[in-house]
Structure 1
Amino acid sequence: MFDWLEHMAQWLVYDIFGMNPNNHFAKALDFFIYDSIKILLLLFTVVFLMGIVNSYFPIDKVKNYLSRKKLYGSEYLMASLFGVVTPFCSCSSVPLFIGFVRGGIPLGVTFAFLVTSPLVNEVAIGLFIGLFGVKTTVLYVLSGVLLGTISGFILQKLKLERYLTPWVKEVLANAQKEQEVFEEEEHSLKQRLPIIWQEALKILKGVLPYVIIGIAIGGLMHGYIPSGFFEKYMAKDNLFAVPLATLLSVPMYSNASGILPVVQVLVDKGIPLGTAIAFMMGVVGLSLPEAMLLKKVMTLKLIGIFFGVVMLCIMVSGYLFNIIL
C-alpha cells in the first residue's frame, strides 16, 4: 500500500542527500521520513472517514447498540480479526485506534484491534509459513487473535475510560456537537464535509508533536540498535528467558516482516521458538514510539495498564509455544 512512499524516502535519503545506505543515521532518517508521513496520512484519512460515519451514525447509538446487545465477547474477536486484515505496525495502528475512540467504540474493543493489528497480517503470515512451516504459522495466527481478544476483554472489564486524556474527551464532545448540528436540519454530504475536514485537521494538529517525537525515537532505534543486541538474555536454559525477552523487546521497534528474519536467526542459534516469538510479539506489538503516540490519548497510568496486560498475555503465549513446539 505504501511502497511508493518507501521508495520516495529511500530516493530522498540515498539519492538526493547522497547518504551511505550502511550509515546508521541514514537508516534512521529513511525510517523517520517514511513512517512519519505514512502515519500522518493514515491518521488524517481515518479521522476524516470516521467523521463522515459519525455524522450519519450518532456516537450514542453506537455505544447503546454495543452495550445492549448480548454479543458474548464476539465484538472483541471481530476487532481482532479486523486487526488481522490491516497490515500496520504498532504506531500505524494508533490512528485507527483514535478513529475508533472518536466513533464511540468501547475502549476494550479498540484495544483488541490495537493488539492484533501489528502482530498478524498477510505479510507476516506468508513469511511465517516460509520460515517455520504451516503448523507453527497456524498456532501463531490463533495466538495473535486470542491475544487481542483476551486483552481487549480484560481491559474492558477494568473500566479504564476515566484514564483517557482530556483531549480525547474534548474530541468526543466535538463529535457529539457535530452530530447535533447535523440533526438540527438536514445536511447533504457536501455541506457536512467542510465541518468534518476542519475537525480532522484539528485532531491532526493536536497529535502532530507526539507523532514526530515517537517516530524519531523509533527511527533512532531502527538505525542504531543491532539485531543481536539481546540474544545473550534468551538462552535455552534460562527459566526467565520468556519474560526477559518480552521486557527487553519493548525498547525496540519494527514491524512483523522486519523482525521475522531476526526471529529465524535467534531460533537457528538455539533459542526456543516460544521465547523468540515472545520477543517478536513485544517488538511488534509494544514499543516506546507507540507509547509516545498513545500519550496523546491515554494517561501514563492507562498506558502502563495496557502494556502490562499485553506483556502478561505475550509471556503466557511464549511459555505455551515452548511447551507445544
Structure 2
Amino acid sequence: MFAVIGHTSSFLYNLLTALLKWIFGLFGTNPEFLESARFKDSVEYFFTDAIVIFLMLIIIIFIVSILRSFFPPERTKKLLGEQGKARGFIGNIVAALLGIVTPFCSCSAVPVFIGFIEAGIPLGVTFSFLISSPMVNEVALVMLWGLFGWKIAVLYITTGVIIAIVAGFIIGKLKMERYLEDDVFSIRMGDAELVKPTWKQRISDAWSYDLNLLKKIWPYVVIGLAIGAAIHGWAPGDWLAKYAGKGNPFAVPIAVIIGIPLYSNAAGTLPIVSELTKLGVPMGTALSFMMAVTALSLPEMIILRKVLKPKLLAVFIGIMAVTIVFIGYFFNIILV
C-alpha cells in the first residue's frame, strides 16, 4: 500500500516538474529551484500526505457518518435534556461524548446553543457539547491517525473530551445563567419530528455527507499541506526549535495566544502541526496551537457573543485557554 503511494507521489512530482518546466520555458526561463532536493522533498511530502489523508477521510468519515445518523441534533437535545438526566457531572460527560458524533461548527453555534437552552439543558452541559463538537470530530481523528498514528489520535481525542467536560463543569458551577443575553429566552426554536431512516437511507446520506464535507474542507487540507510542505523544505528548523522548542518554558501559552485570533479547522491546521513537530516543536506545544485555533477561533467567539454577555464569554475563553495550556504541558511531559 505505502509502496504504491510512494510511486504515485514520485510520478506526480515528475509530472508537476515537467509541467512547470514547460510553463517557465514559454517565458525563456528555467528556475534552479525545480532541480533542488528541497523542492523535490517538499512536493513528494505534499502528494504523499495528500493521498494518505484523503483516502482516510473518505473511508472513516463515511463510517462515522453512519454512526452519526443515530444522533441527529434533535435526538441529542432530547438525550441531554430528557427528564433532567443530563444534570450534574454525568450530563457534562454525556454532552462531551455526544459532541464527537454530532455535527457542529461556529456557523451553527447560535441556533444549537439557543435550542439547548430552550430545552432546559443546564448551561455547563451545553458548553461541554459546544466545546467537544468542533475540537473532537471525525476530521481531527482521521488526520491525527494518518499523520501521527493511532496512539496520538486517541490521546488527543481523550484530552479534548476531558477539556470539554472540565470546562463545562466549571462554568456550570459558576451559575452564570444571568450572563446570557435576554434575547436567548425569547426565541423559540421548535421541535423537529424524529424520523427513523432505513439502512439504505443511512448509507446514501452518509455518502452524500462524506462528499459534501470533502467539498468543504479540501481547500483547508490542500492549503495546510502546502504550508506544511513549504515548512518541510525551507523552514529554519533551528530557529523554530530555539523559540518554540523544549528550551522555552513559555512556548505553550504563546502558541495558544497565537492560535486564538486565527480561523481554521483540523483539516487546515494538522498538516502544519505535523511539520512543526518534525522540526523540533514539542507535540504538546503544536497541539495546543491546534486546540486554540479549532476551539477558540475569533469568528466563533464573535458569533457566540450574540448569545453570551461579555463576562460569560470572557470566562469561557479564560477557562478554555488555561485548560488547553495545561494539556499542552501535559503532552510535552508524557511524550518526551
TM range (shorter): 0.5 to 0.7
**Structure 1 segment 45-124 matched on structure 2, within 5 A:** 62=81, 65-66=83-84, 73-124=89-140
2:170 pairs with 121, 130, 154, which one? 154
2:262 alignment partner, SS class: coil
Other-structure match for 1:280: 290
> Residue by residue, what CA displacement relative to the aligned partner does 1:152-171 show, whole Å, maximum 9, x if unpaired?
10100000100001111222
> Residue by residue, what CA displacement relative to the aligned partner does 1:250-287 show, whole Å, maximum 9, x if unpaired?
01011112211111121111100000000000000001
Report deviation, 1:233: 5.4
RMSD: 3.3
Residues 84, 121 of structure 1: 8 Å contact kept:
yes
Other-structure match for 2:305: 295
Residues 252, 283 of structure 1: 8 Å contact kept:
yes
2:324 pairs with 293, 314, 320, which one? 314
The one-letter code of the counterpart of 1:129 is: W
With over 3 angstroms needed to count, the CA separation of the structure-2 counterparts of 1:53 and 1:138, relative to structure 1, is closer
> Residue by residue, what CA displacement relative to the aligned partner does 1:228-261 show, whole Å, maximum 9, x if unpaired?
8996853331101111111111010111122111
With over 3 angstroms needed to count, the CA separation of the structure-2 counterparts of 1:233 and 1:99, relative to structure 1, is farther
Q: Distance in 1 between matches of 2:280 and 2:97?
A: 32
With over 3 angstroms needed to count, the CA separation of the structure-2 counterparts of 1:88 and 1:70, relative to structure 1, is closer
Per the normalisation by structure 2, the TM-score is 0.59
Other-structure match for 1:170: 186
Residues 134, 294 of structure 2: 8 Å contact kept:
yes
Residues 242, 318 of structure 1: 8 Å contact kept:
yes
Residues 233, 244 of structure 1: 8 Å contact kept:
no
Residues 234, 241 of structure 1: 8 Å contact kept:
yes
The one-letter code of the counterpart of 1:125 is: L
Larger relative contact order, structure 1 or 2 (CA cutoff 8 Å, min sep 6)? 1
Larger radius of gyration: 2
The one-letter code of the counterpart of 1:259 is: T
Other-structure match for 1:5: none
Other-structure match for 1:267: 277
The one-letter code of the counterpart of 1:308 is: G
With over 3 angstroms needed to count, the CA separation of the structure-2 counterparts of 1:143 and 1:90, relative to structure 1, is farther
Residues 128, 167 of structure 2: 8 Å contact kept:
yes
Q: Distance in 2 between matches of 1:263 and 1:53?
A: 32
Residues 89, 169 of structure 2: 8 Å contact kept:
yes
Per the normalisation by structure 1, the TM-score is 0.61
Would you say 1:140 and 2:156 are equivalent positions?
yes
Q: Distance in 2 between matches of 1:297 and 1:289?
A: 14
Q: Distance in 2 between matches of 1:83 and 1:70?
A: 14
Would you say 1:239 and 2:255 are equivalent positions?
no
5+ long unaligned stretches in structure 1:
1-48, 180-188, 190-218
Q: Distance in 2 between matches of 1:111 and 1:298?
A: 12
1:253 alignment partner, SS class: coil
With over 3 angstroms needed to count, the CA separation of the structure-2 counterparts of 1:87 and 1:270, relative to structure 1, is farther
Q: Distance in 2 between matches of 1:322 and 1:291?
A: 28
The one-letter code of the counterpart of 1:108 is: G
Residues 159, 327 of structure 2: 8 Å contact kept:
yes
2:261 pairs with 238, 251, 255, which one? 251
Q: Distance in 2 between matches of 1:70 and 1:109?
A: 7
5+ long unaligned stretches in structure 2:
1-72, 194-219
